[in-house]
Amino acid sequence: MIELVRTNDAVVISFIEALMRDAGIAYLVADQNMSIVDGSLGILPRRILVDAEQADAARKILVDAGIANEIRGQ
């Protein structure tokens, strides 16, 4: 799996989850439980991971949705 997005914005994470789910792209939200460490302040970012084979399709979906600025490594 590769990192597609890293953010601490819960709305962006939820939006990306919906986009990936609707497109049938397997994803994983990593570091969701890190709020225990940061005291639920939302300081530590969560990561959206996708299979390497589906990374290009996932990136295209984010670009089409208008959130290309969230893509990691651009």
pTM of the model: 0.84
Angle at 70 between CA 51 and CA 63, to 5 degrees: 75
CATH class of this structure's domain 2-70: alpha beta
- Tens-place pLDDT, residues 14-64: 999 999 999 999 999 998 776 556 555 667 889 999 999 999 999 999 999
Residues facing residue 5 across a β-bridge: 48, 71
The mean pLDDT value for 8-18 works out to 94
